[in-house]
């Protein structure tokens, strides 16, 4: 069995911004500590929830550097280094390894997409350039390309490709990946509303937006699944389902940053082209949070 980096709940952490759009590293540090203090099993820095697509190269590298130093080996740090330009992804992945990241999260190429053979070539090039573990990221609703189970089998033959963040929403596909890859490719749910279903198929946890706001509860659900207590896990999971879904009432990460602002974490605004939620969705989000006593 390969080292799958972590089991449980990893937070796809937001990147707090100041009002002028610069990165608020103090707020990022507080959010990292809040998550680790409340049971988060790994920190994903510069993922898509972290607005990595709007960062300059210097900001991306500085965020990874900051997270590695702030976490200080308390949990694994997983750096988002994916790109639709293979050479760029290779160079960023090498830099993340140099900075001390424990693993990489690499999204499929977007817009130019590529074929399944192209995916194999793309991820192989990244894997050959580094020695740390790689988690593939399949999110076809965002990128326009899906990693098929057959391609997962091919990629799982590469030693340091150890897992996939599966956010297709297709449970049948996830089951097929589990059946075909077995212990050669760990599966993490990429959707908070599918934590228990994915883990019931053998998934090792979740890479979570929900964990930004509810790290203890998300970790607890995953741990219950890992312990085989799916009945209790499902009860707790269903209690949080409305809030988990409401965090996607607008384009991610707009709602989760709004929620964190309500909680006092100074997540700030998103960078353009993402804009502020409308008043209707703000009230929907607040009501969902009040039901769970996250805010008064």
Can you list the domains of the chain with their CATH numbers? 8-227 (3.20.20.70)
Please write the tens of the pLDDT for every residue from 200-249.
Answer: 999 999 999 999 999 999 999 999 999 999 999 999 999 999 999 999 99
DSSP string, 203-215: --EEEESGGGT-H
Q: Sorting pLDDT into bands at 50, 70 and 90, what band is 281? A: very high
Compute the mean pLDDT over every residue in the chain, rounded to the nearest whole number: 97
**137 among known catalytic residues:** yes
Distance CA 66, CA 244 (A): 28
* Percent of the chain whose predicted confidence (pLDDT) is above 90: 98
The residue to which tokens 């499902």 are assigned: 234
Region 116-141: mean pLDDT is: 98
> Which 8-state DSSP code applies to residue 187?
E
Closest CA to 287 of 251, 234, 249: 249
Region 132-136: mean pLDDT is: 98
Q: Sorting pLDDT into bands at 50, 70 and 90, what band is 2? A: confident
Q: Sorting pLDDT into bands at 50, 70 and 90, what band is 128? A: very high
Distance, first Cα to last Cα, the chain? 46
pLDDT at 34 > cutoff 80: yes
Q: Which two tokens mark 73?
A: 């080996």
Please write the tens of the pLDDT for every residue from 65-118.
Answer: 999 999 999 999 999 999 999 999 999 999 999 999 999 999 999 999 899 999
* Percent of the chain whose predicted confidence (pLDDT) is above 70: 100
pLDDT at position 279, please?
A: 98
Compute the chain's Rg from CA coordinates. 18
Region 116-125: mean pLDDT is: 98
pLDDT at 46 > cutoff 90: yes
Backbone angles phi, psi at 124, to 5 degrees: -65, -40
For residues 141 and 108, is the Cβ–Cβ distance under 8 A?
no
pLDDT at position 1, please?
A: 67
Active-site residue identified among 70, 95, 110, 137: 137
Distance CA 129, CA 180 (A): 26
Active-site residue identified among 70, 95, 165, 257: 165
**165 among known catalytic residues:** yes
> Does pTM top 0.75 for this prediction?
yes
Please write the tens of the pLDDT for every residue from 152-177.
Answer: 999 999 999 999 999 999 999 999 99
């Amino acid at each position: 069995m390969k080292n799958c980096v972590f089991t449980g709940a990893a937070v796809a952490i937001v990147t707090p911004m100041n009002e002028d759009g610069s990165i608020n590293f103090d707020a990022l540090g507080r959010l990292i500590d809040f998550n680790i203090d409340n049971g988060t099993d790994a920190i994903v820095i510069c993922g898509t929830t972290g607005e990595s697509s709007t960062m300059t190269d210097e900001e991306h590298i500085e965020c990874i550097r900051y997270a590695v130093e702030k976490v200080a080996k308390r949990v694994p740090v997983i750096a988002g280094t994916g790109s639709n330009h293979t050479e760029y992804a290779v160079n960023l992945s090498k830099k993340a390894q140099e900075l001390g990241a424990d693993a990489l999260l690499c999204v499929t190429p977007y817009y130019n997409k590529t074929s399944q053979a192209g995916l194999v070539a793309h991820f192989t090039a990244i894997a050959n350039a580094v020695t740390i573990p790689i988690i593939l990221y399949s999110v076809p609703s965002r990128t326009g390309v899906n990693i098929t189970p057959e391609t997962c089998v091919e990629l799982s033959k590469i030693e340091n490709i150890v897992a996939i963040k599966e956010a297709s929403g297709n449970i049948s596909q996830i089951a097929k990946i589990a059946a075909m890859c077995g212990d050669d490719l760990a599966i993490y749910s990429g959707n908070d509303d599918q934590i228990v279903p994915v883990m019931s198929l053998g998934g090792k946890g979740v890479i979570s937006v929900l964990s930004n706001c509810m790290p203890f509860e998300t970790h607890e659900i995953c741990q219950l699944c890992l312990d085989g207590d799916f009945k209790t896990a499902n009860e707790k999971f269903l209690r949080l389902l409305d809030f988990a879904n409401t965090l996607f009432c607008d384009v991610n990460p707009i709602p989760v940053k709004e929620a964190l602002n309500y909680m006092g974490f100074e997540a700030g605004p998103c960078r353009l082209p993402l804009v502020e939620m409308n008043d209707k969705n703000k009230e929907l989000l607040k009501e969902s949070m009040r039901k769970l006593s996250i805010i008064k």
